[in-house]
Amino acid sequence: MPSPMPEPVPVSIQSPASTSSPNAFSHWPRHRAGASLRIDLGAIADNYRLLRQKVGAGTTCAAVVKADAYGLGLAQVAPALERAGADHFYVAHLEEGIALRRHVAPTVRIFVLHGPLPETEEEFVAHGLTPVLNSMEQIAGWRALARRENRVLPAVIQLDTGMSRFGLSMSDVRTIADDATLLEGIDPCLIISHLACADTPDNPANAQQRAQLIRMAALLPPAPLALSASSGIFLGPDYHFDMVRPGAALYGIAPNETAPNPLRPVVKLSARILQIRDIAPGDGVGYGLTYRATRPRRIATIGAGYADGCLRQGAGHGAAWFGEIRLPILGRISMDSITIDITDVPEGQLAPDMGVDLLGPHHDVDAAARAAGTIGYEILTSLGHRYHRTYVAGG
């Protein structure tokens, strides 16, 4: 079966010390890519430790690494999280679980959120994966495997407490409460649900879902409970239960807009300047000539485009940065390039082959998302595979 993970482009590992310079272009000559993505594994580890500390010792802090660790590279990110102390991981699909198993210790618990597709139950056992059972059909399939193998098999049970996406309904739970044989051979090691509105702390849906989880779980065999992903952790201890499962926060995305982001930024994306030119009033830029200069401008074309995850939608409000200087995007974003306004950069400071930041200290993932009318999750999971990737090691 083909691997779901594209093979990463060449990767190099730097020590944290070698990245101190804010505009370190020294590595550019060593690769041929149009842009360079630096992923700080130390920041991911710090974010994990901060979240774990926030929930306290009575709550397990799992780590969500679905979608290739939110686009940042499962093979590098999962071991870094394991070194930081994570020993419970979540992925979405069976394929992702199989891939993750190769990168973490056999004792690490891997939960697969979507549970088994029909006839895939054996593969969960073969790869040491624990399914999340979301429906009566998945429960029946898991029970049938337990019966065939004549043993008790652990599984997570997900309850739908109001999001209408995954999990057993209240009527499913009542059916199980009335017929204990439906769970025969299944050890419910954890009962989970998922919040729809955790990023808006004042939303009454949060408390309603929490109350519904408690009501529904009371009808099932006793098991540890879990409700919160990243944003839910910041709703307070009432939402921590026995386990939390952050993803986005590990990767630096703000848990909500109501408080400053306590997490460390993880990615820095620098694009190479391919060409610089001066344009005159009246000159147009890019497809459709949607930008027209009203006064003389110095512009640069840089080596990343929508094929690299620079969303076309971000053109109107987006920018690159050179140090403290904002460089607005001009006109439309092309597949492989973006044109930016570098008029404000003092003469001689930028030249072809130098880099400007698309994601960095002045423009984090959440800011890029706001400019493109989306969320940080989509920015990260859209990050392209043409970038030269550099991982900063961290303890």
The catalytic residues are 66, 287
Which listed residue (47, 230, 334, 339) binds ligand PLP by CB under 6 A? 230
Distance CA 37, CA 14 (A): 12
388 binds ligand PLP (CB under 6 A): no
DSSP symbol at 329: B
* Listed ranges 2-10, 13-21, 172-180, 246-254: which one lies at the site for ligand PLP (CB under 6 A): 246-254
Part in contact with ligand PLP (CB under 6 A); list of ranges 41-49, 96-104, 243-251, 323-331: 243-251
Q: How far is the CB of 209 from ligand PLP (least distance, A)?
A: 12
Which residue in the set 37, 74, 113, 340 belongs to the binding site for ligand PLP (CB under 6 A)? 113
263 binds ligand PLP (CB under 6 A): no
Distance in angstroms between the alpha carbons of the first and the last residue of the chain? 35
Give the C-alpha separation, 93 to 124, whole Å: 11
Determine if 337 is a binding residue for ligand PLP (CB under 6 A): no
Task: Answer yes or no: are the C-beta atoms of 285 and 277 closer than 8 Å.
Answer: no
| Residue 190 in contact with ligand PLP, rule: CB under 6 A | no
Q: Which of 213, 229, 285, 315 binds ligand PLP (CB under 6 A)?
A: 229
Residue 247 sits in the site that holds ligand PLP (CB under 6 A): yes
Residue 209 one-letter amino acid: Q
Helices (H), the chain: 41-55, 66-70, 74-83, 94-101, 121-126, 136-149, 170-178, 204-217, 230-233, 365-372, 376-382
- Candidates 276, 277, 303, 301; CA nearest to 31 is 303
| Encoded tokens for 5 | 């993970």
C-beta closer to ligand PLP: residue 248 or 356: 248
320 binds ligand PLP (CB under 6 A): no
- Using CB under 6 A, which of 194, 210, 297, 363 touches ligand PLP? 194
Q: Is 252 in the site for ligand PLP (CB under 6 A)?
A: no
Phi, psi for residue 109 in degrees, rounded to 5:
-85, 125
Please report, in range form, the residues annotated as the binding site for substrate: 165, 335
Residue corresponding to tokens 């686009």: 71
Whole-angstrom Cα distance, residue 263 to residue 255?
9
Handedness of CA 168, 223, 111, 143 (dihedral sign): negative
**Structural tokens at position 158:** 């997900």
**Could you say which residues in the range 59-98 bind ligand PLP, by CB under 6 A?**
64, 66
Cα–Cα distances (Å) from 255 to 10, 262, 263, in that order, read 32, 9, 9
Candidates 12-20, 78-86, 234-242, 247-255; binding stretch for ligand PLP (CB under 6 A): 247-255
Length of the chain: 395
Tokens of 139: 């429960």
Min. distance of Cβ 148 from ligand PLP in angstroms? 28
Please say which residue, 93 or 312, places its beta carbon nearer to ligand PLP. 93
When the beta carbons of 252 and 303 are compared against ligand PLP, the nearer one is 252
Applying CB under 6 A, which of residues 115, 116, 141, 246 lies at the interface with ligand PLP?
246
Distance CA(287)–CA(284), nearest Å, equals: 9
Number of residues that bind ligand PLP (CB under 6 A): 11
- Of the candidate spans 27-35, 209-217, 245-253, 363-371, the one that interacts with ligand PLP by CB under 6 A turns out to be 245-253
Chain contacts with ligand PLP (rule: CB under 6 A)? 64, 66, 113, 194, 229-230, 245-249
